[in-house]
Chain A
Amino acid sequence: EDQVTQSPEALRLQEGESSSLNCSYTVSGLRGLFWYRQDPGKGPEFLFTLYSAGEEKEKERLKATLTKKESFLHITAPKPEDSATYLCAAGYNFNKFYFGSGTKLNVKP
């Protein structure tokens, strides 16, 4: 079965300590790779869509990149308010997406 795998499951950073989250997908025919942020008890909030290998998108301290097999979410100089669970989802047609289990990020001041 198609899978989307995210690593690490949890990540603890000090404020200002940059790092990257990984999302790998095993299915073929990818049409779009999505990144979402989810705060506790809330629905996912859209961050980025990437459509083709080599594409990059940035928003404040976050930058998402896509290769043929995986995507990375780079977090530069994170702040405590960046603490959340980050989900990636692979879209293979406009009807359905496969979500990873997420990376829970905790940024300490």
Chain B
Amino acid sequence: DAGVTQSPTHLIKTRGQQVTLRCSPKSGHDTVSWYQQALGQGPQFIFQYYEEEERQRGNFPDRFSGHQFPNYSSELNVNALLLGDSALYLCASSDRSGPPPYGYTFGSGTRLTVV
């Protein structure tokens, strides 16, 4: 049973560029959440997608945007990259068929380095 898959695993971008990260949720999961994890810190919530709509958003600027496709996969886009955007970006999927709160299954992340 495939878990959450993210691509690419590593990425180096130049300040000011744009980046797209991709996530395929675990089979049977319909909700995708994105987190940013700086070195030595816990994950910080960016946003969550369910039924192809952004349902909730953390304290991140509009430079961070996303999309969910009919097959539940998701993309995270970051525009006008800053050096401070360098982090591990984690995708987490969950299933709303049981009682909340719904635990996450995390992917291994995309390590983004902005130079």
Show the binding face of A for B, using Cβ within 8 Å: 4, 6, 31-32, 34, 36, 41-46, 49, 87, 89, 91-102
Show the binding face of B for A, using Cβ within 8 Å: 4, 33, 35, 40-45, 48, 55-56, 58, 88, 90, 92, 94, 96, 100-109, 111
User: CB < 8 Å: which of B42, B45, B100, B105 contacts A94?
Assistant: B100
Contact of B106 with A44 in the complex, beta carbons under 8 Å:
yes
Q: Please, how many angstroms separate the alpha-carbon atoms of A96 and B96 in the complex?
A: 13
Contact of B42 with A102 in the complex, beta carbons under 8 Å:
yes
Q: Please, how many angstroms separate the alpha-carbon atoms of A101 and B32 in the complex?
A: 22
CB distance from A99 to the nearest CB of B (A): 4
CB distance from A22 to the nearest CB of B (A): 14
Known A-B contacts: A34-B103, A96-B56. Give 7 more (CB < 8 A). Answer: A42-B109, A43-B108, A44-B43, A44-B90, A44-B104, A46-B105, A94-B102
CB distance from B76 to the nearest CB of A (A): 14
